[in-house]
Structures are given as C-alpha cells and as structure tokens.
C-alpha cells in the first residue's frame, strides 16, 4: 500500500470505531426495567442457593456446652435449663404456623422519628456535605478524575413502611437438635426521591499527561425500594483461640474470647431498587442522559448492595449491654442526689478557681523573668559604650592593665 492508501485506510478505521462507539455506547438501547429486575433477581437467587449449603451465620466454633456448666468452678450462679427454639415459642405463645403477620405500625413511627431527626441534624451544620466531600476525594479516588464536587443532596421527605412481619425458625446446619435460631421477615417499601449529584472532570493522560479534560455531571435518585428484610439475634458465645486449642492439658486453662450479642440483618435476593440517573457530558456540545452511563451506574449500585447486605451476605451489628447502669440514668434527681450534685459542683468550681489563680501567678512570674532577661543586654550595651569612649574596649570582668 502507498502512503495515501494507508492514510485513508487509517482514517476510515478511526471513523468506523467512533461511529460504533456512538451507536452502541451513547445511543444504544438498554433493557426495560422489568426485564432487568427479573434478571437480577434470578442471578441473586442462584447465588444465594449456591452458598446456602456452605454458609452458616453461626459457623464459628463454640466451646460453651452443658459440660462447661457442669464443670463450673462456682455453684452459686445457677444455670437455667437450655432454652431451645420450641421452648421459646411455647413460652411466648407464638405459633409460627397459625400466627397472623403483624403490621408494625408502632415500629414505623419510631423509624420515622429517627430518620426525621437525622435529616434535621444533616441540614443544621452540613456535616453530611463535608463528610461526603472528604470521602469522594479520598485516597481511593481514581487518578483520571479531578476533584469531585457535590452539587446536590436531597434526603427525601417520606419514610419506609415495614409490614407483614412473620417469625419462623431457620436452621443453620447445626449438629445440635433444636438449635435453629428465630428469624423475622418483614416487607419494606419506600417511595421517595433521594438524590445525590456530583460533578467532576475526566482527565485524559494519553499520549501525554493532561491532554484533555472532559466535564461530567451525574445525579442519581432513588425512586423506590421494595424488598424483604430479614432480622435475627445472634447470642454471645465463647470461642477458643488456636493457641488455646493446641495447649497442653496440664497447663492452666486460658481465658476464652467472648463474642457479644449482635443483630444480623439482610435483604432477600428478590428486592427491587428503581433508580433515576441523569448525566451531562461535555462543555460546549453536551450529551445529556446517556443510557449506557445510567446502566453502568445502576449495575455498580446493585453490585455494591449485593456484596454487603443481600443473602447470603449479612450485616452484623454488635449490641451494647442492656444492664441498667447509673451512668446511663436520665431524669430528675432525688433530694439526696440533688444535694450531692450541688456540693460536687461547688467543689469543682472552687478547684477551677484555684487552678486559674495558680496559672495567672505562673504567667506573671514568667513575664517578669522575661522582662529582666530583655533588659540585661541593654545594660550590657551601655557599659560597652562607656568604655569605648574612654579609649579602649575591655571584656566584662577583665583584669586591669
């Protein structure tokens, strides 16, 4: 091929590549929301079924058993009989086969109050804006993006509605009989407009750094979320460390590590998340609402949720101790406590006053000391000058000639 033919062939190939990119990426058609939702639900269900046999939320080895209670060093604390799942259901008069689902209206009110307070706090000091900006511009930000600026935050106005709550035992594959834990399933439905918008610039670093900058604006809105929430309590347990298991029986018994009681929650794979993605690419000739960008963002958000809180993955939250403590008590004080509080406040005030006086005295002494140090060079300079007028320079403390 001659130079002209090769040049024309190269230009034609570039035009074909650009045309294919515009046709299939920018103006390409995406599947309908119903088709996409059903495909994702089937994929999640298959993944959950594949992990169900090999995954157990209580799979950690535990050393607490009846033999531990029999060999306890103290007989003062009496251990009650082991409470199995059928015993708990019988004592609470709950029949998993005949009990009607509950509406959870009271729980919806508590959740709504919590979310309303969160929205009020976020609008007061703009803490959420500062936190999101620092997270987006952290160390995990790609090198091909400039600084990311948050342009829009809308926390919504409605609240999630939980309903149709039912409790049933779930077997985790434990070898002990009646060891199934109780699990609550409830339907969650949220119809709102929660929006998060950003803008940044894509940096093109080829063939040399900072070859071009492409402005990009993106806004993602959650329109509706519906699914089934699963909640269960995981009781505390004592676990042996590898060093403890390999220790000799003649050595003194090592203390066991205790896992506190925790709350585990996750969503069933059949959840549905409807998003509205708005995009704007370019500075002069702008491309608006590119379908492929919306599809990429939706896939990334669904993958983020699936990796964290969709079965067989669970979120485990450690619960604090619910034992009543004096430091957690709130409310009016009694007369004795009120008198003690007044005396304690007076004592604290006297100590603060005394500490303040001591600090002021120390500052006064330091100020006098530094003023004396500053005046010494001035007096020494006068002595040098007086001796210079007499016709000679002498070091201070020198012997007379």
Instruction: Express the helix, strand and coil content of the chain in percent, nearest 5 each.
Output: 40, 25, 35
Q: What are the angstrom distances between the C-alpha of 294 and each of 25, 150, 205, 226?
A: 11, 18, 25, 20
| 249: three-class secondary structure by DSSP | coil
Element at 187 (helix H, strand E)? strand 181-204
Is pLDDT of 385 > 60? Answer: no
Residues 330-348: tens digit of each pLDDT: 777 665 655 555 556 666 6
Section 249-274 average pLDDT: 76
pLDDT value at residue 196 = 95
Using CA atoms, how far apart are residues 212 and 144, in angstroms rounded to an integer? 11
Indicate the range of 132-136, 235-239, 253-257 predicted with least confidence: 253-257
DSSP state of 172: -
Indicate the range of 13-27, 233-247, 278-292 predicted with least confidence: 233-247
Is pLDDT of 396 > 80? Answer: no
Angle between helices 291-309 and 33-52 (to 10 degrees): 30
Residues 47-60: tens digit of each pLDDT: 777 665 544 554 44
Is pLDDT of 123 > 90? Answer: no
pLDDT value at residue 63 = 38
pLDDT value at residue 320 = 81
Quickly list DSSP for 351-395: HHHHHHHHHHHHHHHHHHHHHHHHHHHHHHHHHHHHHHHTT----
Sequence-distant contacts of 54-62: CB under 8 A, at least 24 apart: 55/312, 56/172, 56/173, 56/174, 57/172, 57/181, 57/232, 57/234, 57/264, 57/314, 58/172, 58/174, 58/181, 58/234, 59/172, 60/237, 60/239, 60/259, 61/239, 61/240, 62/237, 62/238, 62/239
| 153: three-class secondary structure by DSSP | strand
pLDDT value at residue 359 = 78
Residues 1-48: tens digit of each pLDDT: 688 888 888 888 888 888 877 777 666 666 777 777 777 777 777 777
Section 226-253 average pLDDT: 67
How does residue 393 score in pLDDT terms, banded at 50, 70 and 90? very low
Indicate the range of 78-82, 157-161, 175-179, 296-300 predicted with least confidence: 175-179
Section 113-128 average pLDDT: 87
pLDDT value at residue 397 = 46
How does residue 104 score in pLDDT terms, banded at 50, 70 and 90? very high
Task: Count how many Cα atoms sit within 13 Å of the Cα of residue 116 in the half-sphere of its side chain.
Answer: 8
Is pLDDT of 66 > 90? Answer: no
Using CA atoms, how far apart are residues 107 and 162, in angstroms rounded to an integer? 8
- Tokens coding 191: 């119809």
Angle between helices 127-136 and 105-125 (to 10 degrees): 80
Using CA atoms, how far apart are residues 143 and 217, in angstroms rounded to an integer? 17
Residues 187-218: tens digit of each pLDDT: 999 999 999 999 999 998 777 777 888 899 99
Section 307-324 average pLDDT: 87
Find residue 221's DSSP bridge partners: 195, 276
Residue pair 112/157 in contact (Cβ under 8 Å)? The answer is no
Task: Count how many Cα atoms sit within 13 Å of the Cα of residue 251 in the half-sphere of its side chain.
Answer: 9
Section 102-115 average pLDDT: 94
pLDDT value at residue 257 = 59
Is pLDDT of 96 > 50? Answer: yes
Element at 134 (helix H, strand E)? helix 127-136
- Give 52's contacts (C-beta < 8 A, 6+ positions apart): 312
pLDDT value at residue 384 = 45
pLDDT value at residue 338 = 54
Residue pair 164/187 in contact (Cβ under 8 Å)? The answer is yes
pLDDT value at residue 35 = 76
pLDDT value at residue 252 = 52
Residue pair 165/186 in contact (Cβ under 8 Å)? The answer is yes
Task: Identify each DSSP E strand in 13-127 by its residue range.
Answer: none
Indicate the range of 102-116, 181-195, 231-245, 336-350 predicted with least confidence: 336-350
Using CA atoms, how far apart are residues 132 and 135, in angstroms rounded to an integer? 5
């Amino acid at each position: 091929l001659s130079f002209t033919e090769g040049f024309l062939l190269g230009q034609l190939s570039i035009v074909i590549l650009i045309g294919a990119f515009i046709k299939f990426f920018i103006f390409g058609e995406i599947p309908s929301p119903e088709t996409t939702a059903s495909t994702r639900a089937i994929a999640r269900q298959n993944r959950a079924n594949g992990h169900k046999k090999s995954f157990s939320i209580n799979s950690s080895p535990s050393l607490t058993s009846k033999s531990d209670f029999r060999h306890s060093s103290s007989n003062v604390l009496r251990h009650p009989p082991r409470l199995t799942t059928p015993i708990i259901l019988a004592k609470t008069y709950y029949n998993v086969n005949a009990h009607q689902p509950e509406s959870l209206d009271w729980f919806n009110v508590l959740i709504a109050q919590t979310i309303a307070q969160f929205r009020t706090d976020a609008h007061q000091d703009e803490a959420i804006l500062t936190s999101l900006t620092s997270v987006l511009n952290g160390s995990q930000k790609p090198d091909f993006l400039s600084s990311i600026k948050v342009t829009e935050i809308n926390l919504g106005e409605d609240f999630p509605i939980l309903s149709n709550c039912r409790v049933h035992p779930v077997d985790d594959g434990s070898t002990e009989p009646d060891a199934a834990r109780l699990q609550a399933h409830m339907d969650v439905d949220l119809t709102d407009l929660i929006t998060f918008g950003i803008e940044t610039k894509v940096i093109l670093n080829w063939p040399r750094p900072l070859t071009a900058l492409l402005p990009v604006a993106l806004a993602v809105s959650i329109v509706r979320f519906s699914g089934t929430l699963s909640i269960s309590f995981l009781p505390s347990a004592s676990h042996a460390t590898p060093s403890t298991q390999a220790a000799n029986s003649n050595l003194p018994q090592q203390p066991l590590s205790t896992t506190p009681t925790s709350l585990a929650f996750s969503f069933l794979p059949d959840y549905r998340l409807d998003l509205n993605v708005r995009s704007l690419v370019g500075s002069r000739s702008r491309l608006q609402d590119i379908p492929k960008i919306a599809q990429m963002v939706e896939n990334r958000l669904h993958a983020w949720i699936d990796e964290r809180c969709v079965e067989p993955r669970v979120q485990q939250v450690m619960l604090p101790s619910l034992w009543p403590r004096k430091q957690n008590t709130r409310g009016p004080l009694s007369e004795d406590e009120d008198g003690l509080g007044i005396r304690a406040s007076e004592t604290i005030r006297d100590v603060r006053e005394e500490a303040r006086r001591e600090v002021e005295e120390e500052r006064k002494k330091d100020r006098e000391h530094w003023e004396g140090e500053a005046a010494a060079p001035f007096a020494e300079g006068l002595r040098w000058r007086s001796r210079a007028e007499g016709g000679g320079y002498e070091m201070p403390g020198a012997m007379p000639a």
